[in-house]
Amino acid sequence: MSKTAICPLPWISASFNTDASFRVCCNTSHGGLIKKNDKKVYMNQVENYSDIHTTDTIQTLKKDMLSGVRSKFCSACYDAEDASGISIRQYYIKKYSTIVDRIIASSDVNHAEKVKFLDFSLTNNCNLKCRMCTPGASYLLSQDFDKLAMPYDKEYANNAHALWSYEGVIENLIANEGDALSDILFTGGEPLTNQIHLKILTGLVEKNRSQEISLTYHTNLMVLPDPVLDLWKNFKKVYVHLSLEGQGKHNDYIRHNSNWDKILQNLQKLLSKKNQIDLWIEIHTVFQAYNFLIIPSYLEFLKTYASEFPSFPHFIWIDNPSFLSVDSLPAQVKKEGLAAIQTYIDSNKEFYESADFHEFNLEKIQILQGCLNRVNLEQSDSSQKEFVDYTVKFDKLRNQNVLDYIPQLEKVFN
Ligand code: SF4
């Protein structure tokens, strides 16, 4: 059997949306909801993960994967592979290769594996209000969406704010299923401000499980609490995926409420712990209309850190809202922007090839190249209008002007 569609996650992971409902994984399209009798399954309704792995949603997905069918759940991975040859699916295939071999050898949707990977989007409680985010991932944004009379799923946003009070349930799940557990991914909201997250870490340390477990975070690094740093020392490895959209005021504009100096300060603090914590740091950046024209200067700035961690970011194509994608920019702007990024890549390839972490950097260049390939060079007046209207609306509410922060977008907003 080929590995064209398979991914180990439906066999070995349990993944939670911000409202504590189960999903296939955090990369699945449209929430990736797992349903039972056509209804969402919430964390408080489940005692054993095996219940999740035998739902119709997961069984159908496994069947598709085993027969080489590309399920719509996983289009984010398959589309990324088509554009760049690289996706997170391939990362998991490599990481859990022994398990993938077992799954393929059995070729049975009922083949059972223990849960190795927990993936928590722990609430929508976040300290930021990013331009490309929604109230489902940042509760603070509900106020802005309400003021602007913009539609969103209020029930979901409220549940995501309040439903994660099932601390006992999380502990039970870890206790019942946790002997094979090797990886936990925390996203949000902002996980480093989350008290449930702190309790999970504390519980794992107290139960002497932490040394076998690696932690991964998607964080804005606006905070870096000492108690978290102390707990991290007990874990096998800590992967910090720092979300940035640009340098300085570019980042602070797109990621509203950010403070660039504070982020750099916390990054320095984190780097100073490298001798006490087995740390891996990488940068994650959404490839979008706001930062498209500033990518070369942003990449140049990140080179400052080339000896500390892989300085080339992992770029992520934005599907939602689609009008924030680079496709919404005027055709000529896209053409010029693509040429500028390509020139930057070509003239700096040697640097990345010879820098530390060169393997990682070269893979990330390939991913950015995939994003460049996906840009539709046609003019789309309707999505450009949506992008402009959305930006102006938020600027007015926040007493900002996009051109004070990203003057490179002058041709779009003047
Ligand atoms: S293929 Fe991608 S989207 Fe699907 S479960 Fe695996 S990592 Fe998630």
The answer to whether residue 1 scores a pLDDT higher than 60 is no
Residue 257 — left, alpha, or beta (φ > 0 → left; ψ -120 to 50 → alpha)?
Answer: left
Please indicate whether residue 344 or residue 52 has the higher confidence score (pLDDT).
Answer: 344
The answer to whether residue 221 scores a pLDDT higher than 90 is yes
- Choosing from 52, 74, 87 the residue with most ligand 1 atoms within 8 A of its CB, the one to mutate for a pocket test is 74
Predicted confidence (pLDDT) per residue in 253-309, tens digit:
999 999 999 999 999 999 999 999 999 999 999 999 999 999 999 999 999 999 999
pLDDT of residue 38: 86
pLDDT of residue 247: 98
The answer to whether residue 49 scores a pLDDT higher than 90 is no
pLDDT of residue 188: 82
Rounded to whole angstroms, the Cα distance separating 123 from 191 reads 8
pLDDT of residue 178: 63
DSSP code at position 135? T
Give the pLDDT mean for 155-160: 94
Rounded to whole angstroms, the Cα distance separating 399 from 17 reads 32
- How far is ligand 1, taken at its centre, from the CA of residue 310, in Å? 24
Rounded to whole angstroms, the Cα distance separating 13 from 117 reads 5
Predicted confidence (pLDDT) per residue in 4-28, tens digit:
899 999 999 999 999 999 999 998 8
Predicted confidence (pLDDT) per residue in 67-78, tens digit:
999 999 999 999
pLDDT of residue 296: 98
Atom of ligand 1 minimally distant from the CA of 25: 8
pLDDT of residue 100: 96
C-beta of 9 in contact with ligand 1 (< 6 A): yes
Tell me the residue range of the domain where 60 lies. Answer: 9-114
Count of structural domains within the chain:
1
pLDDT tier for residue 32 given thresholds of 50, 70 and 90: confident
Is 251 within the bounds of a domain?
no
C-beta of 24 in contact with ligand 1 (< 6 A): yes
Atom of ligand 1 minimally distant from the CA of 91: 7
Give the pLDDT mean for 214-237: 98
Is 68 within the bounds of a domain?
yes
C-beta of 74 in contact with ligand 1 (< 6 A): yes
3-state secondary structure of 281: strand
C-beta of 92 in contact with ligand 1 (< 6 A): yes
In the chain, pLDDT over 90 holds for what percent of residues?
81
- Choosing from 3, 6, 9, 94 the residue with most ligand 1 atoms within 8 A of its CB, the one to mutate for a pocket test is 9
Predicted confidence (pLDDT) per residue in 80-102, tens digit:
899 888 999 999 999 999 999 99
pLDDT of residue 414: 80
Is 86 within the bounds of a domain?
yes
Is 67 within the bounds of a domain?
yes
Rounded to whole angstroms, the Cα distance separating 396 from 209 reads 50
- Choosing from 73, 75, 117 the residue with most ligand 1 atoms within 8 A of its CB, the one to mutate for a pocket test is 73
Give the pLDDT mean for 320-343: 97
Is 141 within the bounds of a domain?
no
Give the pLDDT mean for 109-135: 94
pLDDT of residue 166: 62
Query: 174-177 — which CB contacts under 8 Å span 24+ positions?
Result: 174/118, 174/200, 174/203, 174/204, 175/207, 176/47, 176/48, 177/14, 177/48, 177/49, 177/114, 177/115
Give the pLDDT mean for 153-171: 83
Query: pTM of the predicted model, to two decimals?
Result: 0.95
Number of H helices, E strands in the chain: 19, 12
In the chain, pLDDT over 70 holds for what percent of residues?
98
Least confident stretch, 35-39, 114-118, 277-281: 35-39
Is 198 within the bounds of a domain?
no
Is 70 within the bounds of a domain?
yes
Question: Among candidates 288, 379, 296, 285, which has minimal Cα distance to 340?
Answer: 296
Is 85 within the bounds of a domain?
yes
